[in-house]
Amino acid sequence: MKSLTSSTFEELYLCSKLLSQETNMDLISFGTGCFPLIFVLIITMCTLSGNTLFLFSFSFLPFVSSLQTIEQLLTLSLIADCYDSLDPSGNIAVTYDIVRWTDDGYQARITIQNYHQYRHIEKPGWQLGWTWAGTEVIWSMSGAFTTKQGNCSTFKSEIPHCCKKDPIIVDLAPEAPLEKRSDGCCHGGFLAASAINPSGSSVSFDMKVGNLRGNYTAHKPLNLTLMAPGLGYTCDEFVDTDPTISSVIEGKRQEQVIRTWKSTCTYSTFLANRSPTCCVSLSTFYNPEVTPCRLCSCGCKLADNEAKSCIRQSSSPLSERELVQCTDHMCPLRVHWHIMKNYRNYWRVKLTISNYNLGKNYSNWNVVVQHPGFSQLATVYSFNNTVLPTVGVPDEVALFWGLDFYNDALLQAEEKQVGSVTTEILLLKDMSSFTLSNGWAFPRRVYFNGENCEMPLPDTFPMLPNGYSKNKPYSSHLSVLVLIYLTYKTINFWS
């Protein structure tokens, strides 16, 4: 691997300084959850390159005036992983409300709110955990339950629901008995994306906390963790905020809780250790050639070309390996963009999502497409859709998801057939920008269920018949050269 030279560090210093001056960004506002990850990555990069962290720090010494500035510099290297410009406010908020005091503790209400526009939590669902600061126990719960009771042998008359120092809490199923339910509970662990189903993007549960000693001082739970259902989320520590106020008696009265703590959990693909799960292919009406998914987009298939099914390592380290149809791209999912027609004032596209996974249905799926054409009126025939608000993105971003009880579930593949959902999209032309040249009509980025899909390389996009082609011009020019050469030889022969 090539070593980092002093000139490289000088370039990094100048670029970082220019970025700070031009954008005037407060990188700390993105949260400190990414700081340990960035720090480790920086050390790794410097170690692999043969340089020391001292050299890195020394090169930036004129620019580093405080620990806060160091954190800003380190955050800069992975800001793209911790901040999504297509979903600038995307996070999951956990609110811990103390509703009232009890004999030996308090009654609490916990709310999990998904602010991601297109990233949902699918089944088997979320798991919320923390560490008690003292000797707290959970006497009872409604709307959720802990996975383990722990050692409650010190309690004689009444046995708590959970005595563990670090409880793990999961959601109840929708068909849970009425006596175990609470308001806003019981989605089976599923949390919808906020842009698709706002009412289903939050969940709440109640619990009675006790065994507080001394003067009934309630301490914030520590080390909050969120599994959704696997790794990927980093949660801040609980902080004091203004007490939650709710309306009762048909909105005629407002009631306030005793105390409120809040935490924000941010998602990182790096922490989730996810390999790609989908890829994009392209085709048009004016070119018979189809641009397939890139070779080995999600892994490479076995050498046995006769095999119909292949095993690929799951995208989540906590999940089992996946059985998929054997393909050159080995992705469980493929998004295909086909340009169907070019009318005078409109153009038509067919969007198809295919499931190659032989053992998994994708319920409540969604697809995000970034394309400038969505700035104009679009008619989508077989999917729900909306245009998302973004920050710093030059092109419009459209979100698609299935119609209830029609195509909201992307069924698993069979041995000789893939599961698929499809729709046609009719887009109004902006005559000042529309063109079929230079790949303008193809998506810039595509996401499936919040995960980035592997795009084909631009030089493989389908081209116009009269456009540049790698093969045809080469053959034509070669023919001309051969003809000139033969003519020259013929003239010399007869002269």
Burial class (CB in 10 A: 0-12, 13-18, 19+), 80: exposed
pTM over 0.85: no
- Domain limits of the chain? 92-152+159-270, 275-296+321-460
**Dihedral pair phi/psi, residue 30, rounded to 5°:** -80, -5
**Dihedral pair phi/psi, residue 147, rounded to 5°:** -75, -25
Length of the chain: 495
Handedness of CA 163, 166, 168, 169 (dihedral sign): positive
| Residue with tokens 């380290």, as numbered in its chain | 317
How is the beta sheet containing 278-284 ordered, strand by strand? 278-284, 333-342, 346-355, 419-428, 378-380
- Residue 54 C-alpha from the chain's centroid: 35
Q: What are the beta bridge partners of residue 267?
A: 233
Q: Which residues contact 429 (CB under 8 A, 6 or more apart)?
A: 345, 346, 347, 376
Q: Which residues contact 173 (CB under 8 A, 6 or more apart)?
A: 186, 188
pLDDT in tens, the chain (495 residues): 444 443 443 444 344 433 333 333 333 333 334 444 444 344 334 333 333 333 334 333 343 444 454 444 444 444 455 568 889 889 999 999 999 999 899 999 999 999 999 999 998 999 999 999 999 999 999 999 999 999 999 998 899 999 999 999 999 999 999 999 999 999 999 999 999 999 999 999 999 999 987 666 899 999 999 999 888 999 999 999 999 999 888 889 999 999 999 999 999 888 886 788 999 999 999 999 999 999 999 988 776 666 778 887 654 544 557 888 989 999 999 999 999 999 999 999 999 999 999 999 999 999 999 999 999 999 999 999 999 988 888 899 999 999 999 999 999 998 888 999 999 999 999 999 999 998 999 999 999 999 999 999 999 999 988 644 333 333 445 445 555 655 665 566 555
Q: What is the CATH number of domain 275-296+321-460?
A: 2.60.40.290
Examine domains 92-152+159-270 and 275-296+321-460 and report if their fold is the same.
yes
Scored b (16 or more CB within 10 A) or e, 290-320 reads ebbbbeebbbebeeeeeeeebbbebbbeeee
Fold category of 92-152+159-270 in CATH: Immunoglobulin-like (2.60.40)
